[in-house]
Structures are given as structure tokens and as C-alpha cells.
A and B are shown apart, each in its own frame.
Chain A
Amino acid sequence: MIHASTTAITRPRSLDEALAALEKSPGAVLLAGGTDLMVAWNAGERHLPERVVDLWSVPELATIGVAGDALHVGALATHSRIVGSPEVRAHAPALAEASRTVGAAQIQNRGTIGGNIANASPAGDTLPVLLAMDATIVVASRARGERPVPADAFWTAYRRTALAPEELIVRVEIARDRPQVLFRKVGTRRAQAIAKVSMALSLRRSAGGAVEDARIAWGSVAPTPVRARRAEDALRGKPLDAASIGAACAALPQDISPIDDIRSTREYRLHVAMAILRRALSGWVG
């Protein structure tokens, strides 16, 4: 529960105001939809901070649109808006798919992509998709202005990110010419389930059918969302056949480090990761 007597809440009305507020008190906690924060506060998993900057009314952060070669998704875009956005559907349908699996309607109405990214849970559903799409996470501070961070460099350790204390996430940029991404989430039930394993996969193949580029990203199998680089290497330059698929699956256990926890087991996660990768590659068309 938030007690106003101990927590000061600032509610900026523009990006400038937000950045100024953050500069004034670096380390203030940014509040977007609150669907991660409120739970953590209520459960006593996080202490109530002295300062909260509530981003909910910053219009610049909420836009979704196409700018030049890229799709721009504002950090404050809710999962519901992402699901409903024609631009996202056209240029990054897998992102809409991932957002559609976050919690249920109520959570999707409040929860934002910026919150999902900054919360940095290894189970965050949009994160593997952003990795597979080679997305750029644009962050900003008042002092330094905007700074693009490749998704590959954003999640640095368990629940740690490349975000500096006076920075916030402004938007996500996804190039429009990226190959399509296949997203698969394995949860304990069909809705309102945190992923036990999730996978986002994209392949680019030459006219001859050889794999030119592969990005295979995972959730819930390591301290951060991760790319399976050895598995990707096993595919690169090869035709997509039993041999290369077998090699990629065999390499996968070295890329990921799943654990036993309340939701599943290491054994199961390893098995499922390999099985869904094999299935996805075997059925790959295009």
C-alpha cells in the first residue's frame, strides 16, 4: 500500500518535465502502469521509495507510429494498445502476439512495454521478441538526451539493465524490413500465466535456402532474456535440414541455464526449449 506520508509522487505532463524530475532526484522510482510495482510493494518485496515519478500522463511516451524505416512504440504504450495497433500488426505482429499473452485484459490495459522492459524479469513476454527483432531501446536523460541501446545490450544481469539512474525509456524502435518472428510461450495455463519457457525466433534465408541470419531468443531459461548464440551459429550458412536443426538443438543447452523454481524444473525447461525449437525449425516456411 502506498502511504502518501512517506512517498512523494510527481506527475509530469511532458517528457521534459519527466526528465527534469528525474534529474532532480535520480533514483526516484518511475511508475508506468504499476502492474509490476504495485504487486512488489504490496507483497513487501520492494520497499516503498521516497520518490515516485508517475509517467502515466506524459503524452510523448505513449505514441505508436512509423517513422522512416522503423516502427516506434512509445514506452508507455500499453499491451492493449500494442495488440490493437495496426502499425504493430503490420510491422511487428509477433510483438502484438506477445503482448496479447501478458496477464489478462485488466493487466494489458495498464501494463506497458516500457515497464515490461525495465522490470527486466527473465519471464517478461515481450523481451525475447525484442531480442529476436534486433530492436533498439531508446533511453533518455536530461543531461545527455537520447541514447539508443540495442536490445542485445539492455539486460545485463538478473533484473539489471543498462538504464542509468537519471534515465528513462522513451521508446522502442524496430526496423521495418526485419524478417518475421515466431513467438511461442509455454505457461502453466492458458491465460494469466507467467512463462515457464518462451521463445522468439527469426530467420533470414538466401534465395538458395541457406540460413543467412538467425536470432533465437528465450525467456525464463536464464537470469536474463537471452539469445541462443551457439544454436544460431549452428544454423548460419546452412540449409535448414535435419542435420542443421539437430545441431542447433544440440547446441541449445550450452546457451541457456534454466533452474528449478516454483513454476517448473530445469529438466522440463531444457526439454521444452529443445522440443519447441526443433518443432519451429522443422515447420519453418518462408
Chain B
Amino acid sequence: MVPGRSRIVGDSPVRKDAFEKVTGKARFVDDLSVEGAWVGRTVRSSEAHARLRAIRFDPAFDWSTVVVVTAADIPGENVIAAIADDQPCLVDGVIRHAAEPVAVIAAPDDRTAGEALRHVSLDTESLTPVLDHESSDQALKSYEILKGDVERGLAEADLIVEGTYRVGHQEQMYIEPQGIIAIPRQDGMLVQGSLQCPFYVHKALTRVLGLAGDEVVVAQTVTGGAFGGKEEYPSMIAAHAALAARKAGRPVRIVYDRREDVRATTKRHPATVRHRTGVMRDGRIVAMDVEVVMDGGAYVTLTPVVLSRGTIHAAGAYRCANTRIRSRAVMTNTPPNGAFRGFGAPQTLFAVERQMDRVARALGLSPLEVRRKNLIGVGDTTATGQLLTDSVGAREVLEAVATAGNVELRHAELENKPRVDGAHLARGLGLSVYLHGAGFTGSGEAHLRGKAAVALGRDGRFEVQVGSTEMGQGARTVLAQIAAEELGVPLDDVDVVTPDTSIVPDSGPTVASRTTMIVGSVVREAAAALGAELGAAYPSLELRAAAREHAIERGPLRVLREYRPPPDVRWDDAAYRGDAYPVYGYGANVVEVEVDLDTLQVEVTRCLAAADVGKAIHPQLVEGQVQGGTLQALAWGYLEELVLKDGRVQNDRMTNYLIPTTLDTPPIETILVERPYVRGPFGAKGVGELPMDGAAAALASAISQALGVEVDTLPATPERLLDLVRGSR
């Protein structure tokens, strides 16, 4: 279809899930009333590293009133299936972090379950934990990307600029904590809950329960946010609930409260990134040598792929002939880190963007000039040697924020402003530009071959059947828009079914900014094929009429399609070279701050966010993604800090792990850039993660200018800034 003709794509209709959510009709997992359901609670370790000798059950409690599940009750394998299969479902022998599940207790009600929990103790023998990733020597994965000759590039450079950057954990803090209900059935197990990836949970359950694929059904309930946090951990909770349900012979629901959720579930990986950059006097970068260390936590989980994305993004949105990126993820005795919006890229992009400011300062150039000189564009190659051929909005997003933010002038003005003794406020401006690979890394999409179906129902309406989940981001609406546009029917004629592994095909997980771009393209193909079939059956009828006729005369019709990776996308997994992603989204930020010199509190006074999303299928939702992601990035930059002591989370509540309130949210001026991607549906590229990538660096840069220091560690809390300011005197 010609983009100019579309009425549904590019418009911002009311979200499909708006009414039920706004009116409180939406049923979250904790709201479901399930006959005879018991409550499950988790017994956890409190030590970071120990040998588990025994679990003690205090005889003062009447254990006949509850059901207890330990590792010994697992009928299948004691493993939460992931990349390395190293994480047990319940500890059997060695405790590796301080919130590790050891047993599950199911009871008729909350109170009994809580009582029981208080009567369990662990008999352990302490082991010495590794708590700091910089001192861990247990690498679980490493990569090396080589392009050109970095040593020669450094030797030829006029100047070598070095910097070390550190970022901390980040908690997803979705509104709805994690929860699952498991319902035993004659022929297996039904599991429903708040989750991102029903087929991940499905696979994990078959392994733990020792059941066949068709004996396990996983269905999503209305999900109140995820941000990556419900990508892998729901497999753990589902396994616990299912084991308890199996033993109790009745449904068991496990819903975490906020504290348990913050203590136990996955977070963004802390990281340390070192840069050595060779530059010429004229501002050209001739060598980039980058070293990345990420903290994987106690188990492998998704860390290898998080590290992979972080590694590939470590050179940022710049062209450089000689690049070396060496990365490793190490294990520590802390709760495993995992998926979080951006998936490793925010960490390394923060570092490279701060490094670009250092380069600018070293050369006496403005941050904008240095970026303009080295920005990647069509015809350039990335660190992995990927030649960029189209849909490259890097220049547009940078120039868009530069113009709107009057960056050239403002930056110079603030730079040259004299410092006044006793002044109350200091101002600064920061800039960032970045890219984000859309879809799975490397050969991921080729291996996965995500499927999607579009079906005509008996009522003459259409249904999109995908495994992709709605978690607040708007997938249900956008996928319906794509199908409706392609079929040429009103949006109301198209529904997207709630993912249920017994109904929908496996479209792959709802991660990696891939849902609109990858799954959406398969949905579009399926819709086109269905439309063609209806057209062929009733050539004289309009599609809507043909659909009704077909439904009445011949019944329902369903077309299934699967993703075919473009033949010219090539990736060499062994050498880590080639087309790392089918395409990239591009983003840029300008952040202006005012720092209170008495308290070192930072206020963002202006924030611009430009995003090249290919095509905004639903501009309002895209803007929502950009604003929410930008805020999350700002907060990671100055506010959010997870405090661990002896490997235990100290601030496990919303009263001490602080996220921004409305009053802390600056107006975020969004600029959408559309450089269509020919293979995306209607030109769309992924947008979910992109806005998480750059605002923290722009913020740190603005604070750096305001205070005359270099902010290299996040979050830039007032306490850290005080140390920096004192150190610079």
C-alpha cells in the first residue's frame, strides 16, 4: 500500500486496551478469582554464598496445613531453562545469591503461608562471596570485535584520550509486581500470569515438570509494565507455582509484593567501560579501543546476549576505521541481572557519549562539532563491518535537536559564562547521539523465524494471532493497525488475541524492539495473503463483504506466515562480523540543567529527544515510548540507585528506591524523524529501547559543564557530585 493512502497507519486511534484499563475492568493476575486457589510463598536464602546443609521446619508449626516444595519434589530437571541452564529452580546444595529460592510453601491463605514462612530456617555453611564485578575473575562470556588495526590507529593519532565510565543497577519498577497462577488440569498444567514471553515460560515449565509441550499451556494476563523485567523471571515464578500446584493438587498463585520483587528479580547490569580514543587535531577519530565489563550476577541467564548488544553498541553512532571492542561478563554472588529496556546498549552508549565529550574538550572543539565530524552515515561501516545503506537518520536526529535546542550558541554561552563566587545556581547543556539495533542481534531472527497468523472468524471479523504481548507499550493496538491497514478494513474489525500458547503461534519473545518491526512485518504479510485469498474467493465483493460471505458460506480462514530474514543480511557469529542488526533506529538528546550549588540537586530545565523510527505507525504511542524511555534514562542518570550490602538489596521499597514523580519530570520535547526502512511494515523500525540509550549521557554532560567536572559514574547523585566538586578543587 502507498503510505500516502493510509488512514489507519500513521493515525493515533484510541488504544485497544484503553477502556478496560481506564475503567478498572482489566483483570491482573492478582484479581482473577480462581476456585480453590491457594497462596504460594517463596523461602529464600539470605546469604550471598553458602552451602545449604538442611532446611529446618520448626515443629511448633502444624505442617499438615500447608504444602512444601523443595528441590526433591521436582519431577523434571531442577533448572530454569535459559542460555546456559545453570540456574536451579530451587537451591539444591549451593546458594549463590542472597535472594535465591530454596523452597516454596503453599497454604490456603496469606496468613497461614506467612506463618509457615516464619517457621522455616536454613542450616548453612557460609562461603566467601564475590560481590564486585571489577574484582571477579569468573568470566561467563566474552567477545572481541576487531576492525582495522587499532594499535596502528592509536600510534598515528595526534592525541589519545582515555576515560573510564561506571554505571549501576537499575530496577524496572513496573507498576504491577510479578505474579503467576498455576492451575493443574487433567492433562497437564495451565499457567497464567504477568509476563512478556509466554513461550519462554512454556519451555521452562516443560523442563521442570517433565511434561510434553502440549501438556503445558501458558497464557498472559493483563500485564502492568515489564521493561524487560518480565522476560525471564516469570519462568522461575511459574515453575514454583506449578510445582506447588502439582503437589497441592489445586491452583496455586504466587504474587510478589514490592519488596520481594525488588530483592529477587533481575535488574540492569552494572558495567565498567574503559575507552582509549585516538584522534587527529581536526577532530577525526582514527582509533577506538574499548573494554567492557558487565556484572552478570550469580547465574548466566540472558547475560551473554545483553553483553553482545552492549559490545556491538560500544562504538556508538560513529565511523572509525580502527576499532577494537573487548568485553566480558563476570559472575558475582548477587541476584542475576537480566533484560531491561536497552539490553546492554545504554551502558556502553553512556560511556562512548561521555568519551566523545572528553575528546571534544581535549581538542577544544564543541561536543556538537566532534559529533558532526564523526557521525556515521550511509556508506559507512559499523564496528562489526556492517555497511549502512539506507534508513540512516543519524544526521537528521542530531541536527534536529541541535537546531531546536540552539545548541551551538547555548553551549558556547554557558561555557564562557564567568563563575561567580557565592552563586546559587550553575547551568549546563549536554548532547548525545546514538543508534539502537532493532530486532535480535546477529542471526537471532534467522534462527527464530517468528510466526504470526491472521484469521477470519465466524463473525466475519479478523483476529491477529501472535505470541507478542501487550505490556503497556501498545503492541495490541499497533499490530491491529497494521493488519487493518493491509486488509483495508476499519480498526474495529480487527482484534489481537491474548497470547495463549495453545492458540497463538510462536512469534518470538516481546523484546529487542522487534514487535512492530519484525512481528508486524509478518502480520502484514499474513494479512495481505488472507486478503488475497478472500479477494480470489469473492472477486466481485469488497473485502469486508467478502469476509462476511466467506464466514457464512465457508467458515473461518487462517493464514500463518513466518519471518524470512532478508537474504542480504549476513552475520558471522564466530568472527563477530557482519550485519549485526537488520537496521538501526537513531536518537539524539539535548539536556539542559540547573544545579543548585548548595545542595548539588539537579533540575532538568530542558530536554529534547529526537528519534528516527522509520515510520510512526501510531505517533502518539511512539511519543509515549520516547518520553517514557527518556525519563527512565534521566532517572538512571541522576536518581535511581540500588544499594547492596553483602549482596543483599537494602532499598527494596518505593520509599527508598526512588523513581521520578510527575514533579521530577521535565517537559520532554519529542521530535519524530521518519527514515523509512523498506522491510519494516510501512517503513517502521523498532522504538521501544532507543529512547533509553542517550539521555543519561546528555544529562551527565550537562552537569559536567555546569560544575566544571567530568561526571563519569552514574547515578550522578548530589552525594557523588559533592565528592567530584571537592575533588576538583
Whether a CB of chain A sits under 8 angstroms from the CB of B555 is no
Min CB gap B645→A, angstroms: 10
B residues near A (Cβ < 8 Å) are: 110-111, 259, 422, 424, 597-599, 601, 639, 643, 650-651, 653, 655-656, 658, 660-664, 717-719, 722-723
Contact between B664 and A190 (Cβ–Cβ < 8 Å)? yes
Interface of B is mostly: loop
A-B contacts besides A193-B658, A276-B599, 10 pairs, CB < 8 Å: A3-B111, A188-B639, A189-B663, A189-B664, A191-B662, A192-B661, A262-B651, A265-B719, A275-B599, A282-B422
Residues of A within 8 A of B643 (CB): 262
Digitize A79-123: 1 where CB-to-B-CB distance is under 8 Å, 0 elsewhere: 000000000000000000000000010000000000000000000
Min CB gap A88→B, angstroms: 23
Known A-B contacts A3-B111, A186-B599, A276-B598; the reply to A191 vs B663 at CB < 8 A is yes
Residues of B within 8 A of A268 (CB): 718-719, 722
Digitize A167-210: 1 where CB-to-B-CB distance is under 8 Å, 0 elsewhere: 00000000000000000001011111110000000000000000
> Residue of B at shortest CB range from A193?
B658
Residues of A within 8 A of B718 (CB): 268, 272
Whether a CB of chain B sits under 8 angstroms from the CB of A264 is yes
A-B contact pairs, 25 of them (CB 8 A): A1-B110, A3-B111, A186-B599, A186-B601, A188-B639, A188-B658, A188-B717, A189-B639, A189-B660, A190-B664, A191-B664, A193-B658, A262-B651, A263-B656, A264-B719, A267-B723, A268-B718, A268-B722, A272-B598, A272-B718, A275-B597, A275-B598, A276-B598, A279-B424, A282-B422
C-alpha gap A43/B654 in the complex (Å): 13
> Residue of A at shortest CB range from B719?
A268
Residues of B within 8 A of A193 (CB): 658
C-alpha gap A279/B722 in the complex (Å): 17
C-alpha gap A193/B664 in the complex (Å): 11
Contact between B639 and A271 (Cβ–Cβ < 8 Å)? no
Min CB gap A49→B, angstroms: 17
Min CB gap B371→A, angstroms: 31
C-alpha gap A189/B715 in the complex (Å): 13
Residues of B within 8 A of A186 (CB): 599, 601
Known A-B contacts A188-B658, A193-B658, A279-B424; the reply to A262 vs B598 at CB < 8 A is no
Known A-B contacts A186-B599, A189-B664, A267-B719; the reply to A262 vs B650 at CB < 8 A is yes
Contact between B664 and A267 (Cβ–Cβ < 8 Å)? no
Known A-B contacts A186-B601, A262-B650, A272-B598; the reply to A267 vs B658 at CB < 8 A is no
Residues of A within 8 A of B651 (CB): 262
Residues of A within 8 A of B597 (CB): 275
The 8 Å CB contact of A194, one of B259, B598, B655, B662, is B655
Min CB gap A34→B, angstroms: 16
7 nearest A-B pairs in the assembled complex, by CB-CB distance: A275-B598, A190-B663, A268-B719, A191-B663, A191-B661, A189-B664, A190-B664
C-alpha gap A244/B651 in the complex (Å): 41
Residues of B within 8 A of A267 (CB): 719, 722-723
C-alpha gap A278/B661 in the complex (Å): 29
Known A-B contacts A188-B639, A262-B656; the reply to A272 vs B661 at CB < 8 A is no
C-alpha gap A275/B662 in the complex (Å): 28
Residues of A within 8 A of B723 (CB): 267
A-B contact count (CB 8 A): 54
Residues of A within 8 A of B660 (CB): 189
C-alpha gap A194/B717 in the complex (Å): 15
Min CB gap B327→A, angstroms: 32
> Residue of A at shortest CB range from B661?
A191
Min CB gap A218→B, angstroms: 14
Residues of A within 8 A of B598 (CB): 272, 275-276, 278-279
Min CB gap B46→A, angstroms: 14
Min CB gap A108→B, angstroms: 14
Residues of B within 8 A of A191 (CB): 661-664
Scoring A43, A272, A278 by chain B CB atoms within 10 A of each residue's CB, the highest score goes to A272
C-alpha gap A169/B553 in the complex (Å): 79
The 8 Å CB contact of A272, one of B599, B650, B664, B717, is B599
C-alpha gap A101/B661 in the complex (Å): 13
Residues of A within 8 A of B639 (CB): 188-189
Min CB gap B720→A, angstroms: 9
Contact between B661 and A189 (Cβ–Cβ < 8 Å)? yes
Min CB gap B11→A, angstroms: 35
Residues of A within 8 A of B655 (CB): 39, 194
> Residue of B at shortest CB range from A264?
B719
> Residue of A at shortest CB range from B725?
A271
Residues of A within 8 A of B599 (CB): 186, 272, 275-276
Residues of B within 8 A of A275 (CB): 597-599
Residues of B within 8 A of A43 (CB): 259, 653
Min CB gap B3→A, angstroms: 42
The 8 Å CB contact of B661, one of A3, A104, A276, A279, is A104
C-alpha gap A181/B664 in the complex (Å): 26
Scoring A104, A191, A271 by chain B CB atoms within 10 A of each residue's CB, the highest score goes to A271
> Residue of A at shortest CB range from B655?
A194
Scoring A39, A267, A275 by chain B CB atoms within 10 A of each residue's CB, the highest score goes to A275
Digitize A12-44: 1 where CB-to-B-CB distance is under 8 Å, 0 elsewhere: 000000000000000000000000000100010
> Residue of B at shortest CB range from A278?
B598
C-alpha gap A267/B110 in the complex (Å): 43
C-alpha gap A39/B259 in the complex (Å): 13
> Residue of A at shortest CB range from B424?
A279
C-alpha gap A265/B722 in the complex (Å): 11
C-alpha gap A276/B424 in the complex (Å): 10
Contact between B722 and A271 (Cβ–Cβ < 8 Å)? yes
Residues of A within 8 A of B111 (CB): 1, 3
Residues of B within 8 A of A262 (CB): 643, 650-651, 656
Residues of B within 8 A of A278 (CB): 598
Min CB gap B644→A, angstroms: 11
Residues of B within 8 A of A190 (CB): 661, 663-664
Task: Give chain A interface residues in 240-286, CB to chain B under 8 Å.
Answer: 262-265, 267-268, 271-272, 275-276, 278-279, 282
Scoring B653, B660, B719 by chain A CB atoms within 10 A of each residue's CB, the highest score goes to B719
C-alpha gap A268/B722 in the complex (Å): 7
C-alpha gap A175/B422 in the complex (Å): 35
Min CB gap B443→A, angstroms: 43
Min CB gap B635→A, angstroms: 9
C-alpha gap A189/B599 in the complex (Å): 12
Min CB gap A45→B, angstroms: 11
Contact between A189 and B722 (Cβ–Cβ < 8 Å)? no
C-alpha gap A104/B424 in the complex (Å): 27
Residues of A within 8 A of B658 (CB): 188-189, 193
C-alpha gap A117/B598 in the complex (Å): 28
Residues of B within 8 A of A194 (CB): 655
C-alpha gap A188/B719 in the complex (Å): 10
C-alpha gap A186/B717 in the complex (Å): 13
Min CB gap B729→A, angstroms: 13
> Residue of B at shortest CB range from A272?
B599
Residues of B within 8 A of A279 (CB): 424, 598
Residues of A within 8 A of B424 (CB): 279
Min CB gap A273→B, angstroms: 10
Residues of B within 8 A of A39 (CB): 655
Residues of B within 8 A of A1 (CB): 110-111
Residues of A within 8 A of B719 (CB): 264-265, 267-268
Residues of A within 8 A of B259 (CB): 43
> Residue of A at shortest CB range from B118?
A44
> Residue of B at shortest CB range from A277?
B598
Min CB gap B2→A, angstroms: 48
C-alpha gap A279/B651 in the complex (Å): 32
Min CB gap A3→B, angstroms: 7
C-alpha gap A1/B656 in the complex (Å): 21
C-alpha gap A190/B603 in the complex (Å): 10
Scoring B597, B651, B662, B722 by chain A CB atoms within 10 A of each residue's CB, the highest score goes to B722
C-alpha gap A3/B111 in the complex (Å): 9
Min CB gap B709→A, angstroms: 15
Scoring B650, B662, B664 by chain A CB atoms within 10 A of each residue's CB, the highest score goes to B664
